[in-house]
Chains A and B, each alone.
Chain A
Amino acid sequence: MSMEVRTILELIQVFTVYTASVFLAPYFVFYAYLKDKDLSEKFTLCMIIGNFYIINIVFLIFLLHIPGKFTLYLFIILPALIAWRQVNRPDIKGSLILIYNSISRLFLGEAKIRTIRDVLSPAPKKWIKGLIHSVVSHAIHHILEWIMLLGFLTFDIWYFGYHNITRYSYGAPDLTVHHYWINEMGDGNIFCKGVYPFGFHNVIYFIHTFFNIDTMSIMRVFNIVQTLYIYLMLYVLLRKICKSKFTPILGIFVFTLPDLFNYLSMMRYQSSLPQEFGIVFLYPCAYFLVEFFERKKEEIQTEKKLQQKGKYYVWMEQYHILSSTRSLVFFAMSFSMTLAAHFYITIIAIFLCLAVAIAYFPIVFHPRYFFAIAIAGILSLVSAIAPLGIAFAQGTPLQGSLGWALEIMSGSSDDEEAAKEENQEEADSEATDSEAADNEETNNAASMPSDNGSLSDGSSEPDRQVTEEIGTFDTIITKTQETALKIVKGLLDFNEKSSIFLCNVFHGIEITTTLILFMEGLMVFSLLAIIIRRTFYYRNLMFVALYLFFLTLMCCAEPFHLPSLMELGRVSIFMAYALPLLVACVVDIVYWIINRNQNHIWEIFPIGVTAALTMLTITNHFIKPLTLVYATQTSGEIYCNYEIMENYPEKTWTVVTTTNSLQLIKHKGWHMEVCTFLAKMEGYMTSLRVTIPTKYVFFYIEKTPVALGYADYVSKPIANTGPISREAAAQDVNFRDAMIYNVPNRHIVESKFFYWAKAFEAKYPQEFQVYYEDDSFICYRLVQNEYNLYNFAIDYGFNRRD
């Protein structure tokens, strides 16, 4: 099977099992609760429930020190079944009795099989009919939405899966670290390198263990699956905010097709990384928070009406969970999962929630809102931090990268603090000066009456009054003008600086300027609209604008001398992900203005805009090109890993290669580092011996060594150091260092390895065979007599002792 086909099949497999786990299974369990909700809400709820459940169950079995396949099955299935029974109240006993009676009748000859079929089939028939009806009905009513959405998503699958299908390897070097952590979970060891947000790892571990899918297969394609869900979450949030059904699709278009974003904003989606997994739960935070406000408002209104009608007893709040509370619970779950996946997502989520909170000011401070939100926030933090805290309390230290992240923040903030202090000093000095001036004015003003008083003695009262009024009015105008000028100047300064600095995120000053103007325009418009109309729609627009504003500030922390919470490369991902919200909201305003009568015909406007922009993007060749990807492994190496794992018995083979494949093959075979291998025969003497105690030994040699960690366009050949050579093989090599497989040492190592292989092949021409070869990679295979191993230590011309 070719690797392309294999990758596509793996993608289908992983997408199916993940979707079944986090969408279909929760839907089945909470069917009674979800059946009346619209599809986007069903989808969001199921995604949150499913992921939250899986992540925390995996945490639970590990913290109870009972990891394993059986416990995973037990802890996943049993509570789900209980919940299903509690929520849906199925008549299990009745069904069993019916089946038992039917079978008994069949065996006793009292009924024929046709009769039994007629008795048993109505319920499933009805269910299938209903399912088909709902699918067909939904498809008919939303056909255009689906076509447009699936069209863009198909492009996304191609775009973000191109690397996976053509190169097969991981798109980022740190994936091997995450793979290692997941492998360690397979060995019953969570937080093997310290406490770290393991949400992503828990999900991969779950898929691997529950469905028996190889971790390598999951990790290779999971990025496509999670990116699809990232897109869908964007769509779902826009559906929540926007009035039009089609402006969300415009948002998807903006994030999908045009070449707007810098490579930093897109390249990480090509790898299955925890941060990108966490993005899935970012917008649901806003989704459920907004939903909470909406529902709370409805509930309060309903409550008031019932109170007015004297039917307050109907509102038995104490006897049922309010839908707003549920929204808040789901908000808490989403928020906790951002923390469970990656701390950076939580930082962004905090700003997102802050934007919502400001947009919903002053409602948010209403006791009935505020305390509920506060409790939800605390609970979400507790639920996310609890597993990490327990592990920490059990003696597991913090993972190193957490310290690194904190250092970045604290290190930057030190600088920023210094800058801030300077600014503060300047500001303080300015403030002191202005205060002094003010005081002087005040003093003058204060002294004026006395002066005036002394003067007034010689002047008329009305004149004095007119003069005073004119003087005051002039001062106000002057001050207002000055303030306005200051604001305008500050705004222009902000616009200029941010437009220039955002070019690190977007392509071109035009885009960034437009973005800033849109953002500010949306902010002003929504502010005015809130003042005038006070509907939640405008508050939602406001929160989008504020969210963009916060992200802009985060991006432009350097020019504005603000504390840097995260590096620009990371913020740019969120900035790019937020842009569709802005564009969709702006277009939605126009739609809303022209469609005050709420006539569906005006949907033609967002459809037209989307279609026109799509056409323009295509005709002007403005489609975003394939982005950069890191060089990690050759495609041949991945292919060989698969072939060997599938065709050779477990633990009967060893692969001699760099560390890249170590985690990929860990549970199936053995691994020996090429540097260890070569180092053992360095300074060759006849007494040296290097043996590998397995029947089959494979040697992976890069003919054009990979430039590890170097990024290049995915459409180009993988970044490499050029062909191996005798000259390189003759150079001094470093076999013991953290950077031994980086440029340029890797080139020397691979060159030596190649000439070792050639020398060994000459000695064992029948036994040492080429297992696989392409332009950049060659794999040799040696079949050994396990009882009498070959001595691999030979003089290959570049390892003699001088």
Chain B
Amino acid sequence: MTISRTNFIAISVTMITVLILFQFSNISTIYTSEAMKNKTAEKDITLTANDTTQKEDLLTRSSYSTAIIGSTVNRESNLALEWCVYTKRSFYRFSSFEEFSNNSSKNCTLLITSADYIDDDKDVKLLLRQAKSGVHIILTSMPDTDFIRDSDLFQQLSGIRRINRDAFKINALTMYEGFLLGGKTTYRKIKRTLPYFQLSSGTKTYVIGEVRDQKALGIKNEDLPPIVWRNHIENGFVFCTNYDFFKDHTGLGMLTTMLSETQKYYIYPIVNAQNVIFQNFPYLSSENNEVISKEYYYSSKALCENVLWPDVVSILNATRDKFNGMIAPKLEYSDDSQKSYENALTFYFEQNEKVTGELGLSGDQLDGYNYYDEKIEYDTDLMNRLAPEYRFTVFSPGNMPESIYRKYLDNPNDTSILADIRTLILPKLEIQKPILSFYNDDIVRMMNTVDGFSHTNEEDIYVRSIETALGYSSVSLDFTRVLYPSGKKDDWTKLSKDLSRFLDTYWSTFRKGFKQVTVSETDTRVRNFFAVNYNTFRRENTINLSIYDNMETSFILNLNNERIIHIEGAAYTEIERGRYILSATEKSVTIEVTPDNIIQQ
């Protein structure tokens, strides 16, 4: 069989064309790659702390809208203050009821106090008077039962009909739909001993304690121990909390919901960002090889590249989360024998580009306080050498004390790897600090809200609360657990399964509703969130939202038994019945609402 010359040429040309076409994309990717540059990093900081609304701007003694009773060391009052900054409410903090009574404000619509500051019936009378005049009161804790038993006025204020038991064991806690985002949930692992109150009519309960053998004890659902409830006093509502939700940031979302319950509608700004942050991953060295080899039959480096990375990518693909890797070049800086692998760094930078993630720097090291400076020096040297064009803008100090990194961040002439940092990611443990704040004028400080390998009942309430208040979550995954396992519980197979199911089940509602972004995008959103200034008013069934300073902010609109029928100037998503995320596209947003399933005439 022979082939003609013409045919031969045609076949050859076709084959070459196909070859070029297939190879072109790969070749072009290599040539146009910017893996060694930080594409997500903003070139300039457009919004600094000075451009935003901070607590100093909201503090007013004469025309505050929120009165906070509590000292500066009182956690609940600090939390209330933090919440006022997020919701842009003018406030004033009073150290006692006496001080408050001497400095009343006509604009005051909300009073937040801990029961610790209620000393006698005089204070209760003051609260009752305030409630009757239309000031809503939030009691972040309850006084002791003897005080309640003796004070009819407090019973009247809080809607407590009687005290069934001074101490009663609850075996679970149920949070009803319409309170925090996430719907009705029963937390079966929360077991506490609390005072057992019987409420009077006219109250509404949001959270209750479950009782073992409820049927046998003949307790009706309505009689279960109330945890969070509302009472009505003429023109005002009184919210009571019979639990320590306000000991940490868990109270943030509750404050938002409580305020929302007092109004027909409530609009407040949110960050609208969901992060997943991989602490100490990518890992560029190969330490602890002996243990890792025994556990996984891989070296540390190979485990990271061949097992961890594919799994991480697979999980993130499934949940549509963005990759935020905090690089750990090494973890043991006392051992000079182990170096960071150049090819590992290239691998992760290239892979990161493919998944459009972001890389930052981890501050963790395992050799004690003395090695932090050495770590920064080593990391600076390594990155200057291997990725000189990459600007590290995100820093997650991990276990690095603030005193160490402060030296670098506060130094304007710093030339270290931390010179370009604009986002600090703090671990969740630092409960005294706000969830979101400015570290200094330029640097935004964000706190992790949840450990990605753990899910306890308290953590779930914490996450739901922060999501409700801020539309923000930062899931932290510390890979030191994988690289330095301390037992079966640190096995990657288990941890990856946990991570996958936590992201895909418990937190899926929020991940579907809010934006899944990189840390730098979150940074921008946080700056916008702090900078936004807005005003809302309602005329009949039309709500107007006017945004003055920064319109690139999202808002949550809470409607009580109403729904949106038309909106102009914003896009909206319904995350739950009556709860919408608004993403403004114009400075003036008009929202038409209608009563939910009500006959219109």
A interface residue numbers (CB < 8 A to B): 639-640, 643, 647-648, 686-689, 691, 762-767, 769-774, 781, 783, 785, 787-794
Residue in A647, A766, A785, A794 whose beta carbon sits within 8 Å of that of B560 in the complex:
A766
A788 CA to B179 CA in the complex, in Å? 13
Q: Identify whether the interface residues of A are mostly helix, strand, loop, or mixed.
A: loop
**4 nearest A-B residue pairs (beta carbon):** A791-B201, A766-B560, A763-B202, A772-B599
Residue in A769, A774, A789 whose beta carbon sits within 8 Å of that of B598 in the complex:
A769
A686 CA to B159 CA in the complex, in Å? 10
Residues of chain A within 8 A of B161, CB atoms compared: 686-687
A688 CA to B198 CA in the complex, in Å? 12
Known contacts: A794-B201, A794-B202. The answer to whether A766 contacts B561 by CB under 8 A is: yes
Say whether B261 faces chain A, with CB atoms less than 8 Å apart.
yes
> In the complex, how many angstroms separate the beta carbon of B572 from the nearest chain A beta carbon?
21
B601 contacts A686, CB within 8 Å? no
A647 contacts B597, CB within 8 Å? yes
Residue in A648, A688, A766, A788 whose beta carbon sits within 8 Å of that of B208 in the complex:
A788
B222 contacts A689, CB within 8 Å? yes
Residues of chain A within 8 A of B454, CB atoms compared: none
A202 CA to B314 CA in the complex, in Å? 66
Residues of chain B within 8 A of A689, CB atoms compared: 201, 222
Residues of chain B within 8 A of A787, CB atoms compared: 174, 176, 184, 221
Which B-chain residue is minimally distant from A647 (CB atoms)? Answer: B597
Known contacts: A686-B200, A766-B561, A788-B176. The answer to whether A640 contacts B599 by CB under 8 A is: yes
A772 CA to B599 CA in the complex, in Å? 6
Which A-chain residue is minimally distant from B234 (CB atoms)? Answer: A762
Residues of chain B within 8 A of A788, CB atoms compared: 176, 205, 208, 221-222, 224
A8 CA to B488 CA in the complex, in Å? 74
Residues of chain B within 8 A of A762, CB atoms compared: 232, 234
> In the complex, how many angstroms separate the beta carbon of A351 from the nearest chain B beta carbon?
51
17 contacts between A and B (CB under 8 A): A640-B599, A643-B599, A686-B201, A687-B161, A691-B222, A762-B234, A764-B232, A766-B264, A767-B561, A770-B598, A773-B601, A783-B561, A785-B177, A790-B201, A791-B200, A791-B203, A793-B201
Residues of chain B within 8 A of A771, CB atoms compared: 598-599
> In the complex, how many angstroms separate the beta carbon of B326 from the nearest chain A beta carbon?
43
> In the complex, how many angstroms separate the beta carbon of B51 from the nearest chain A beta carbon?
36
> In the complex, how many angstroms separate the beta carbon of B165 from the nearest chain A beta carbon?
17
Mask of B195-221 contacts with A, CB within 8 angstroms, 1/0: 000001111110010000000000001
Known contacts: A687-B161, A762-B232. The answer to whether A792 contacts B201 by CB under 8 A is: yes
A791 CA to B595 CA in the complex, in Å? 24
B232 contacts A763, CB within 8 Å? yes
A691 CA to B178 CA in the complex, in Å? 20
Residue in A648, A766, A770 whose beta carbon sits within 8 Å of that of B597 in the complex:
A648
Residues of chain B within 8 A of A793, CB atoms compared: 201
A772 CA to B600 CA in the complex, in Å? 8
How many A-B Cβ pairs are below 8 Å?
Answer: 69
A791 CA to B222 CA in the complex, in Å? 8
Which A-chain residue is minimally distant from B186 (CB atoms)? Answer: A787
Residue among A688, A691, A771, A788 with max Cβ neighbours from chain B (10 Å):
A788
A467 CA to B490 CA in the complex, in Å? 149
A793 CA to B222 CA in the complex, in Å? 13
Which A-chain residue is minimally distant from B264 (CB atoms)? Answer: A766
Residue among B232, B595, B598 with max Cβ neighbours from chain A (10 Å):
B598
Residue among A688, A689, A787 with max Cβ neighbours from chain B (10 Å):
A787
Residue among B174, B184, B561, B601 with max Cβ neighbours from chain A (10 Å):
B561
A651 CA to B161 CA in the complex, in Å? 32
A773 CA to B598 CA in the complex, in Å? 11
Residues of chain A within 8 A of B205, CB atoms compared: 785, 788
> In the complex, how many angstroms separate the beta carbon of B371 from the nearest chain A beta carbon?
55
Mask of B532-576 contacts with A, CB within 8 angstroms, 1/0: 000000000000000000000000000011000000000000000
Residues of chain A within 8 A of B234, CB atoms compared: 762
B561 contacts A769, CB within 8 Å? yes
Residues of chain B within 8 A of A643, CB atoms compared: 599
Residues of chain B within 8 A of A648, CB atoms compared: 597
Known contacts: A785-B176, A788-B176. The answer to whether A767 contacts B204 by CB under 8 A is: yes
A688 CA to B208 CA in the complex, in Å? 21
A790 contacts B599, CB within 8 Å? no
Residues of chain B within 8 A of A791, CB atoms compared: 200-203, 222
Known contacts: A788-B208, A788-B221, A791-B222. The answer to whether A767 contacts B560 by CB under 8 A is: yes
Residues of chain B within 8 A of A789, CB atoms compared: 221-222
A648 CA to B174 CA in the complex, in Å? 26
A766 contacts B176, CB within 8 Å? no
A789 CA to B201 CA in the complex, in Å? 10
Other A-B contacts than A772-B601, A788-B205, 15 sampled, CB-CB below 8 A, are: A640-B599, A686-B161, A687-B161, A762-B232, A763-B232, A766-B264, A766-B561, A767-B561, A771-B598, A774-B601, A781-B598, A783-B561, A788-B176, A791-B201, A791-B222
A790 contacts B204, CB within 8 Å? yes
Mask of B221-253 contacts with A, CB within 8 angstroms, 1/0: 110100000001010000000000000000000
A528 CA to B385 CA in the complex, in Å? 135
Residue among B201, B261, B598 with max Cβ neighbours from chain A (10 Å):
B201
Which A-chain residue is minimally distant from B597 (CB atoms)? Answer: A647
Residues of chain A within 8 A of B601, CB atoms compared: 772-774
Which B-chain residue is minimally distant from A684 (CB atoms)? Answer: B201
> In the complex, how many angstroms separate the beta carbon of B152 from the nearest chain A beta carbon?
12
Mask of B146-189 contacts with A, CB within 8 angstroms, 1/0: 00000000000000010000000000001011100000100000
> In the complex, how many angstroms separate the beta carbon of A633 from the nearest chain B beta carbon?
17
> In the complex, how many angstroms separate the beta carbon of A675 from the nearest chain B beta carbon?
20
Residues of chain A within 8 A of B232, CB atoms compared: 762-764
Residues of chain A within 8 A of B203, CB atoms compared: 791
Residues of chain A within 8 A of B598, CB atoms compared: 769-772, 781
> In the complex, how many angstroms separate the beta carbon of A345 from the nearest chain B beta carbon?
41
A132 CA to B395 CA in the complex, in Å? 88
Residue in A647, A769, A792, A794 whose beta carbon sits within 8 Å of that of B595 in the complex:
A769
> In the complex, how many angstroms separate the beta carbon of B236 from the nearest chain A beta carbon?
11
Which A-chain residue is minimally distant from B598 (CB atoms)? Answer: A771
Chain B residues numbered 37-58 whose CB sits less than 8 Å from any CB in chain A: none
A772 CA to B597 CA in the complex, in Å? 11
A789 CA to B224 CA in the complex, in Å? 11
A720 CA to B415 CA in the complex, in Å? 89
Residues of chain A within 8 A of B174, CB atoms compared: 787
> In the complex, how many angstroms separate the beta carbon of B227 from the nearest chain A beta carbon?
11
A764 CA to B222 CA in the complex, in Å? 17
Residues of chain A within 8 A of B224, CB atoms compared: 788
Residues of chain A within 8 A of B599, CB atoms compared: 639-640, 643, 771-772
Which B-chain residue is minimally distant from A779 (CB atoms)? Answer: B599
Known contacts: A686-B161, A769-B561, A783-B561. The answer to whether A764 contacts B204 by CB under 8 A is: yes
Which A-chain residue is minimally distant from B203 (CB atoms)? Answer: A791
Residues of chain B within 8 A of A794, CB atoms compared: 201-202
Which B-chain residue is minimally distant from A760 (CB atoms)? Answer: B202
> In the complex, how many angstroms separate the beta carbon of A281 from the nearest chain B beta carbon?
41
Residues of chain A within 8 A of B178, CB atoms compared: 785
Residues of chain B within 8 A of A763, CB atoms compared: 202, 232
A790 CA to B206 CA in the complex, in Å? 12
Which A-chain residue is minimally distant from B265 (CB atoms)? Answer: A766
Which A-chain residue is minimally distant from B231 (CB atoms)? Answer: A763
Residues of chain B within 8 A of A783, CB atoms compared: 561
Which A-chain residue is minimally distant from B226 (CB atoms)? Answer: A788
Which A-chain residue is minimally distant from B179 (CB atoms)? Answer: A785
> In the complex, how many angstroms separate the beta carbon of B231 from the nearest chain A beta carbon?
9
> In the complex, how many angstroms separate the beta carbon of B600 from the nearest chain A beta carbon?
9
Residue among B202, B234, B560, B598 with max Cβ neighbours from chain A (10 Å):
B202
Residue among A688, A689, A791, A792 with max Cβ neighbours from chain B (10 Å):
A791
> In the complex, how many angstroms separate the beta carbon of A681 from the nearest chain B beta carbon?
9
Residues of chain A within 8 A of B202, CB atoms compared: 763-764, 791, 794
> In the complex, how many angstroms separate the beta carbon of B181 from the nearest chain A beta carbon?
16
A781 CA to B599 CA in the complex, in Å? 11
Residues of chain B within 8 A of A691, CB atoms compared: 222
